[in-house]
């Protein structure tokens, strides 16, 4: 039997599982048992010990639990990056597990293989666009990371609670708002009160500013309340050179969408600025960020560029800013009374930091 062709169950709702297994059992509560076992990290039907043995065997014959598997894992101190392969293709997806100073764990999840945005400072952008991930492939990244941080043993005694990971950030490979339908399905799964029960405030979606998607989520009640915009600079001309996809997504329209998002109950917006030495560190850039922020509740997150070999801008290799250049730019922003934070550098040696995802 070709097990790769079997339907996978991870990432499905209880009702979806119930429908799939209806040919094998009339006991509808079995679907919830299977659902809960998957959330606990079970990767084999034989671990689902409260299911009858006959049902375990039938499930094994007709379904996979996962559609993907962890091909490789890289570690740097408390940061971990996994390379996830999809069973029916050679496709590789990367996801990262990060720990902060309070030992809180954050799963950084991808929504696409490659990325169509083409940002000149991002490794993923240099790959081009391969394809969208379906909602189960998005969800499975979280489940793989959860298993990684909990245990390496696959037995009933070591399968642990659902809430080992504190936060989810959709900041991995790809532009989430260009895969909005699958993103919404994944967020619904994460929010499910009968399942992982993630508060919307514990999930952040990062986008380079796709206007159509921003206006849609601004009017979507269940959508996450935390949003991050990869701003880079609010100098429109420079931004379009650094982030080609923004040519069709002007800052004025993005600003209007963010105003609507907050008017309809969305929380404070993070404006992410990957800082590129000698490029977007001018007084002009600081002032443009201030002007863009007017009317919005924001925090500016400075991200000194994480080195990636082979990336250029206008014929010159990109460089990370010196500490002095970074400090001076932060001071410029603070002089405009903007709230500024700087992202901790994590995962750089395993190419797991912001802008580094995308193995050759």
CB atoms within 10 A of CB 129: 17
Answer for the pair 277, 325: CB distance below 8 angstroms, yes or no: yes
Sign of the dihedral defined by the CA atoms of residues 321, 272, 125, 348, in that order: positive
Q: What are 242's two structure tokens? A: 């650094």
Distance between CA 117 and CA 119 in Å, rounded?
A: 6
For residue 131 the two structure tokens come to 């394809």
Partners of 105 in the β-ladder: 99
Residues assigned a catalytic role: 94, 354
- C-alpha–C-alpha distance, residues 98 and 175, integer Å: 20
Class of residue 213 by CB neighbours under 10 A (exposed 0-12, middle 13-18, buried 19+) = buried
Residue of 85, 83, 92 whose CA lies nearest to 69: 85
């Amino acid at each position: 039997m070709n097990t790769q062709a079997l339907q996978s169950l991870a990432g499905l709702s209880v009702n979806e599982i119930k429908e799939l297994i209806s040919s094998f059992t009339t006991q509808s509560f079995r679907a919830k048992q299977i659902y809960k076992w998957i959330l606990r990290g079970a990767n084999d039907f034989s671990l689902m010990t409260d299911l009858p043995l006959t049902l375990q065997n039938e499930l094994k014959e007709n379904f996979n639990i996962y559609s993907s598997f962890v091909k490789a894992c890289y570690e740097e101190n408390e940061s971990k990056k996994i390379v996830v392969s999809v069973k029916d293709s050679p496709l590789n997806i990367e996801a990262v597990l990060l720990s902060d100073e309070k030992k809180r764990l954050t799963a950084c999840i991808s929504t696409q293989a490659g990325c169509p945005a083409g940002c000149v400072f991002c490794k993923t952008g240099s790959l081009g666009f391969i394809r969208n991930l379906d909602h189960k492939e998005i969800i499975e990244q979280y489940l793989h990371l959860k298993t990684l941080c909990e245990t390496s043993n696959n037995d009933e005694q070591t399968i642990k609670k659902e809430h080992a990971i504190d936060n989810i950030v959709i900041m991995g490979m790809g532009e989430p708002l260009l895969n909005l339908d699958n993103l919404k399905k994944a967020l619904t799964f994460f929010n499910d009160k009968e399942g992982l029960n993630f508060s919307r405030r514990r999930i952040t979606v990062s986008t380079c500013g796709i206007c159509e998607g921003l206006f849609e989520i601004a009017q979507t009640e269940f959508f996450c309340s935390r949003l991050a915009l990869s701003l880079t600079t609010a100098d429109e001309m420079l931004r379009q050179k650094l982030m080609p996809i923004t040519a069709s997504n002007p800052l004025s329209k993005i600003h209007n969408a963010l105003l609507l998002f907050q008017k309809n109950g969305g929380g404070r917006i993070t404006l992410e600025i990957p800082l590129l030495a000698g490029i977007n560190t001018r007084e002009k850039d600081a002032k443009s960020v201030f002007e863009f922020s007017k009317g919005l509740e924001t925090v500016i997150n400075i991200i000194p560029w994480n080195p990636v070999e082979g990336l250029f801008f206008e014929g010159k290799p990109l460089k990370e800013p010196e500490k002095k250049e970074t400090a001076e730019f932060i001071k410029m922003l603070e002089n405009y009374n903007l709230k500024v934070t700087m992202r901790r550098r994590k995962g750089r040696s395993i190419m797991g930091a912001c802008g580094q995802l995308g193995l050759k």
